[in-house]
Amino acid sequence: MLTVLVVLMLLAFGGIGLMRFGTRRSVAFLPWVESVIPGLIPSDELRPNLTSHDNDLKCETLGILTDREDPCALDLAIPLLENGDDYVWLNAAHYVGSCGRIEAVPYLIKALRHSAWRGDADVVGYLRSITGKDFGTDFNRWHEWWISEHPDFQFDWESKLGPIPRLPLN
């Protein structure tokens, strides 16, 4: 019965293809569909959302791909690590990190200063998995370790941290 209801709602909203166009309805509808019938929208169908001009759609899509740990959109997500939006780069870091990619590490470390603290447990899990190190949520220890391993690495640790950044950079 629930499946029939979901299919009828999809038809009422213009079908699954609506999820790609960045409309306000699709942004709200996408996570709902995923929570009711996980995997109904194939990961490959979500890829175009990462090229949308709608940052909310990008974030919702990255969240779904993170939960799936599906590397199908890494080629589109890795450039989003450098996105100027406070939450797009953060969600991209979670997704790229969930796929075990080293490119996410400095962004995951920076995420420990972001105002979106609820993701810290996931960030630490990704960092632990990728690096084999465990400094918990201690940004300064992670930062010192990264710099010691990559002394010539240039990175912006200060900006795009959400409305209320945590932890000053020592």
Residue ranges in 37-167 assigned as alpha helix (H): 43-46, 55-68, 74-77, 86-98, 105-111, 120-131, 139-149
Helix (H, G, I), strand (E, B) or coil at 115: coil
Q: Is the pLDDT of residue 57 over 80?
A: yes
The closest of 164, 157, 92, 102 to 129, measured between CA atoms, is 102
Q: What mean pLDDT is predicted for residues 76-83?
A: 98
pLDDT at 30: 83
pLDDT at 20: 45
Query: For 104-138, what is each residue's pLDDT tens digit?
Result: 999 999 999 999 989 999 999 999 999 999 999 99
The answer to whether the CB of 167 falls within 8 A of the CB of 140 is yes
